[in-house]
Amino acid sequence: MKVKEVLFSVLKSLKNAVRAVAFLLILAFLINIWIGWLKPKHFDGNLMMDAFYAQQENTVDLLVIGSSHTFVDVNTGTLWNDYGIPSFVIGGSLQPFWHSYYYLREAVKTQTPRLVILEALACNIEEDNTFPGIIFNNIYGMKWGMEKLESLRASVFDTDGLVDYTLFFEDYHNRYPELDMLDIAGDLGDPVRYEDWKGFYDYFLTQYVDEPEFLDDVLPEPMVNKEEYYYRLILEYCRDNDIPLLIMVSPDGGYSNRARSHYVYASEIADEYGFDFVDFNNYYDEIGLDFSLDFADLGHLNHRGNRKFTEYLGDYLVDNYDFIDRRNDESGIYDSWADNYRYLEYRYDNYILSDTFDVTDYVGRLAELSEDYEVFVAISDLSYITDEMRTYLGINGIPSARPYDERRWMIRGGNTTTLYADENGLYYEVYTGDHHLAVSTSGFYYDGQDLFAAVAGYNGVLIVVYDSYNQTVADAAVVFGTEIWRL
Amino acid sequence: MLFNSLQFALFFLVVLAVFYVLPPRVRVWWILVSSLFFYCFESRENPISEQSVYLFTAIGVSYVTGLIMGLIPSEGKLKILRLVLLLEGIIADFGMLFYFKYTKFFIELINPSIIEKGGTPLSTDFNLLMPIGISFFIFTSTGYLFDVYRKKIEPEKNPFYYALFTCFFPCIMSGPIERADHLIPQLKKLHEVRVIDVDRMSNGIVLIVWGLFAKMVIADRIAMIVDNVYGHYYNYGSVEIIFASICYSIQIYCDFMSYSTIAMGCSKLMGIDVFDNFEAPYLSQSVQEFWRRWHISLSSWLRDYVYIPLGGSRCSKLRKYLNVMITFLVSGIWHGAGINFIVWGGIHGLLQVVDGVTAPLRKKINELTNAKTESFGYKFGRGLLTFAVVDLAWVFFRITDFNLAVELIKRMFHKPDLWLLFNGGLYTLGLDQKEFNILFMAVLALLVMDIARKKTQKSIGDIMIGQPWWFRWVVIIALFFAVLTFGIYGPAFDASGFIYLQF
């Protein structure tokens, strides 16, 4: 009897222990999901590091580290397509050198770059470069380890701050008001970019910027002590570990004599360590920059500017450093760079299309679209239509007589499908990844948003261009006579 | 080390882990050391002699007094000595409390008459830093002396058990105010607490997460509306001010209830049951019932050690009502040194007197009108009325300036713009629509939980013990993630203090 009781007690304790362990496991599992949903998802710093960790080991030949000037100026697609250089950009907004230092240490754990480029904007930053946004963008994407802890330690001044940021969940939870379905997707609804992303961000915006005026010769001016300390650490680290390093300053609309004096100072330090320092602000003409067209804002190149600059940079790199053209590699380990290039070029073409306001040009671009594009057409009135548009519709077999207003058409690679509404008024719908496109009698809807909400009531030809490769709407326009209206 | 801070979480995890690992007989010493550390850590801003010494004095005085009292027979000539010792203990304890809490208040009170008589007003230019938790540990030790005096309990001979009873860390800052015959026997049996007791542990965890939910998701969120509207009352009309006062009622309930609930949960994890301080007070049918459900450990303390010694209800009606008024005025003064607290206590006393005086009349009216007093409608109406008067009284509790409190109440009766309830106007009072919806759902959960508590007459933890294990898991996990996600914490916020810590 006693043995039975003891056995029963042991079994009960065992059952309770198993239950407690199961509870903790479920809790841990759910916490992991919670972290995935709430973690910051800035492309710079956060998703960029996820993408970096996803790279095959020892495939990145060129590693670019620095501020936002890196991830909007150095086009990884161009470096691949024109030079066969597999590159990756690890950059964060206003990234100080201490973050760059720990990023470098983190990066070389898995990659052996043939060259590291350190972008040097941090030499020129004079304000306190320690605030939550910086920590979010430049540290939170890093895996837990000494580099991350050291980077945090270098970023905060007191123990409380270190505890606050080390216990990341406090910051994660602050994101709950901005949480949406794309956070659950984990890639902000851009899976194509995310899969093959190399850290570069095309900035599709144009702002007129005055060409900076500065003296050729300025006296060197020391940078902030803390920046210099970590700048030297980077240089020492590369020297001690035989990592080829180039320090560069990218073209900057906000460039000044003061900035130049800091860069001169930094170049002198680079000389001490035997590393090259190139200030590309000395080569505006050689790069071919047009300050009225090639900048997105004062400090950043846009989609046109980054391509010009990267071509110049690529020439410089292949002339001065030891790179291998990986385009001929047949092992497949570099395929994602080709995909990245394709992604970037599609995005570029999409932007150009959506930025076209001349009907003749527009029709020309529509006619050149590849089979990855679907062009949806709805006609409400053909009273005002240019000859070019009429020709485009005619070539694609879209009739110019009623009841065209009761039909919709889908053109892909020169083939046209006539769409008829079902009893619910739905002509066509497609789910791709996390997105949904619907063509119905009430309009064109992408992820539930009426693409023509802002131009409702206008007659003409409604055109929606869907980029099925990137799973995104490339353009939604109303062509009315010689005018093009958009959201 | 607030209960909703990371420091406390770490502290408690260490205390608990060591508690379970230590040999059972050593546990009680460990909890004593932890409690003293907790108190000294809290008082670290000030030199130990300035803060902790008062706690040690209160412990020492009441321990020795109780011990001597126990040696004196309660019959015969010497029994007067017992009374003298009780008075000595009370004077020592309350002397400390009055010195810290009320010196400034009384000086401010008498200064006008000094000035009127041409004298020099006494200086109020000094800062008496009140020892943390003084109101609570003084009441605990005084209650003990009363119980020894009345022979309800034997004096505790072991100074360490007594010290732990007085400074038990979950209760010392803000209650519940424990009684010796309830807590000390449990302390003496700490070695019998089983390490793995899933029911007890899940009970404790439910209490802790529920307390954190009430504090961090409801109280600290709703405080944004209260602070905004009360802080800028001149910008708002009657609907907003009434809404803010309702919000304050919810805030103070969640704030204080959460502290007591977390204290219960922490104690439960160490195998100790402390008093449940709140039992769905806003579902009360009268102010009298409200006080049976609100801050129960204080109400029962005042009942046992103030109201009953004054004569309680076993006397004339007039005397009984006077006793009620005195008890509630004491309650008001206990909460703070200010006219507003006295008014607040007075209102509650008066409401109970009015309730008692009008009871026969109400009964007659109910009979004449066939009021169906057992119906839902009748009870709902009474509950609503009780909530309304308690809510109005809270205005005096929240607003320290008496005239301003009266002004706010006046503004509640201006012509109301009821569209504000439907046109999104409520989203402009300090919380946007998203935050408001989170708050609404959380308050709904609070209501459901309080209804369950009132129906079952059990604590949240005990209600959960009666549920299937998977249901408990779901509730714990849901509350945990609600706190983790929607709780007000992080670098952007300071861990908000508990309102009752100031008392």
**Which residues from A are below 8 Å from B220, CB to CB?**
none
Same domain, A362 and A339: no
What is the average pLDDT across A325-353? Answer: 94
Of how many residues is chain B composed? 503
Shared domain for B12 and B74, answered yes or no, is yes
Strands (E), A395-482: 408-412, 415-419, 426-432, 435-440, 443-446, 449-450, 461-467, 472-480
Mean predicted confidence (pLDDT) in B411-427: 86
The verdict on A1 and A62 lying in the same domain is: no
Residue B179 within any structural domain of the chain: yes
Q: A243 and A387, same structural domain?
A: no
Between A435-444, B65-74, B397-406, B487-496, the lowest mean confidence (pLDDT) is in B487-496
- Residue-wise pLDDT tens digits, B84-112: 999 998 898 888 888 887 887 788 878 88
**A16–B198: do the CB atoms touch at under 8 Å?**
yes
Q: Is B368 on the interface with A (CB under 8 A)?
A: no
Per-residue model confidence as pLDDT tens digits over B348-386? 999 999 998 998 998 999 888 888 888 999 999 999 999
Instruction: Verify that A48 and A130 share a domain, yes or no.
Output: yes
CB distance from B490 to chain A under 8 Å? yes
Q: Does B288 map to a domain?
A: yes
- In this predicted structure, what is the pLDDT of residue B495? 47
- Shortest alpha-carbon distance between residue A182 and chain B (Å): 17
* pLDDT value at B147 more than 60: yes
Neighbour count for residue A486 (Cβ, 10 Å): 14
- Note whether A263 and A382 are same-domain residues: no
Q: Say yes or no: B236 and B171 in one domain.
A: no
- Nearest one of B115, B446, B391 to B258, comparing CA atoms: B446
Which one has a higher pLDDT value, A279 or A403?
A: A279
Q: What is the pLDDT of residue A12?
A: 80
pLDDT reading at A87 higher than 90:
yes
Size of interface A-B (CB pairs under 8 A): 47
Percent of chain B with pLDDT over 90: 54
Higher per-residue confidence, A61 vs A225 = A61
**Which of B198, B434, B491 has its CB closest to that of A171?**
B491
Q: Identify the three-state secondary structure at position B68.
A: helix
Which two structure tokens, joined as six digits, stand for B16?
Answer: 């608990």
Same domain (yes/no): B178, B79: yes
Looking at the structure, tell me whether residues A205 and A222 fall in a common domain.
Answer: yes
DSSP element (H, E) containing A184: helix A181-185
Residue pair B393/B251 in contact by the 8 Å Cβ criterion: no
A152 within 8 A of A146, measured Cβ to Cβ: no
Q: Among B163, B195, B227, which residue terminates a domain?
A: B195
Q: Is A206 in contact with A300 (CB distance < 8 Å)? A: no
Contacts of B435 in chain A (CB under 8 A): 177
DSSP run (H or E) holding A247: strand A245-249
A-chain CB neighbours of B431 within 8 Å are: none
| DSSP bridge pairs for A279 | A249
* Stretch (H or E) spanning A89: strand A87-91
Contact status, residue B413 vs residue B392, Cβ threshold 8 Å = no
Strand A426-432 relative to strand A435-440, pairing: antiparallel
Question: Is A436 at the interface with chain B, CB within 8 A?
Answer: no
Q: How confident is the prediction for chain A on average, in pLDDT? A: 89
CB A114 within 8 A of CB A83: no
Q: Are B6 and A171 inside 8 Å of each other by CB?
A: no
Please tell me whether residues A297 and A171 are part of one structural domain. yes
Q: Name residues 118-147 of chain A within 8 A of B (Cβ).
A: 132
Tell me whether residues B490 and A16 touch, CB distance under 8 A: no
Q: What is the mean pLDDT of chain B?
A: 88
Q: Based on the fold, state whether residues B160 and B24 are members of the same structural domain.
A: yes
In this structure, what token pair is assigned to residue B392? 């109005």
Chain A residue nearest residue B432, CA to CA: A177
Residues B237 and B115 grouped into a single domain = no
Residues of A in contact with B490 (CB under 8 A): 164, 170-171, 173-174
Q: A173 and B489: CB-CB below 8 Å?
A: yes
Residue with the two structure tokens 């000859």: A387
The tally of domains found in chain B comes to: 3
Does A164 contact B491 at a Cβ distance shorter than 8 Å?
A: yes
**A117 and A229 fall within a common domain:** yes
Residue of B nearest to A176 (CA): B485
Whether A85 and A214 share a structural domain = yes
Beta bridge partners of A295: A301
- Tell me which of B131, B164, B195 is where a domain ends: B195
Instruction: Provide the pLDDT for residue B337.
Output: 78
Is B498 a residue whose pLDDT tops 60? Answer: no
Instruction: Name the domain count of chain A.
Output: 3
Average pLDDT over residues A193-213: 90
* Phi, psi values for residue A128, rounded to 5°: -65, 115
Per-residue pLDDT reduced to its tens digit, B245-254: 999 999 999 9
Q: Please tell me the predicted confidence (pLDDT) of residue A138.
A: 79
- In 3D, which of B145, B248, B155, B259 has the Cα closest to residue B207? B259
Looking at the structure, do residues B251 and B327 belong to the same domain, yes or no? Answer: no
End-of-domain residue from the set B151, B167, B195: B195
Interface ipTM: 0.78
Q: What is the DSSP letter of B235?
A: G
Nearest to B167 by CA among B314, B4, B28: B28
DSSP per-residue letters across A419-435: E---TTSEEEEEEETTE
Question: If pLDDT is split at 50, 70 and 90, which confidence band does A416 have?
Answer: very high
Residues in chain A: 487
One domain for residues A319 and A423 = no
pLDDT of amino acid B503: 53
Interface test with B, best of A9, A11, A16 (most B CBs within 10 A): A16
Do B268 and B291 share a domain, yes or no? no
Q: Which domain holds residue B356?
A: 280-400
Residues 6+ apart with CB under 8 A from B225: B243, B244, B247, B429, B430, B431
Residue B309 lies in a domain: yes
Residues B261 and B202 in one domain: yes
Q: What are phi and psi of B372, to 5 degrees?
A: 50, 65
Question: Quick one: B392 and B293 in the same domain?
Answer: yes
With respect to residue B364, please indicate whether it lies within any of the assigned structural domains: yes
Shared domain for A241 and A277, answered yes or no, is yes
Residue type at A290 in one-letter notation: D
For residue A35, pLDDT over 50 is answered with yes
Q: In what order do the strands lie in the sheet with A87-91?
A: A87-91, A62-66, A115-119, A245-249, A276-279
Measuring CA to CA, which residue among A40, A248, A251, A258 is closest to residue A134?
A40
CA A73 to chain centre: 12
Q: Compute φ and ψ for A192, nearest 5 degrees.
A: -65, -45
Residues 6+ apart with CB under 8 A from B120: B114
Structure tokens that stand for B12 in this block: 């408690």
Do residues A379 and A404 touch, judged by C-beta distance below 8 A? yes
Candidates A17, A30, A173; nearest CB to B490 = A173
Residues 15-74 of A with CB under 8 A from B: 16-17, 19-20, 23, 26-27, 30, 34, 38
Q: How high is the pLDDT of residue B102?
A: 81
Same domain as B256, residue B301: no
Same domain, B425 and B446: yes
Peptide bond preceding A399 in cis form (omega within 30 of 0): no
Rounded to 5, what percent of chain B is helix, strand, coil?
75, 0, 25
Query: What is the structure's pLDDT at A161?
Result: 67
Query: By the CB < 8 Å criterion, does B473 face chain A?
Result: yes
Element at A375 (helix H, strand E) = strand A373-379
Task: Give backbone dihedrals phi and psi of A188, rounded to 5 degrees, phi first.
Answer: 55, 30
Domain of residue A209 covers 39-323+331-348
A258 touches chain B (CB under 8 A): no
A337, A428: one domain: no
Query: How close does chain A come to B493, measured CA to CA in Å?
Result: 10
Position B492 pLDDT exceeds 70: no
B9 touches A at CB < 8 Å: no
Kindly identify which residue of chain B lies nearest to residue A38, measuring between CA atoms. B485
Instruction: For residues B374 and B329, state if they share a domain.
Output: yes
Q: Is B1 domain-assigned?
A: no
- What does the block give as tokens for B357? 């005086």
For residue A103, give the CATH number of its domain. 3.40.50.1110
Which residue in B350, B348, B314, B353 sits closest to B334, CA to CA? B348
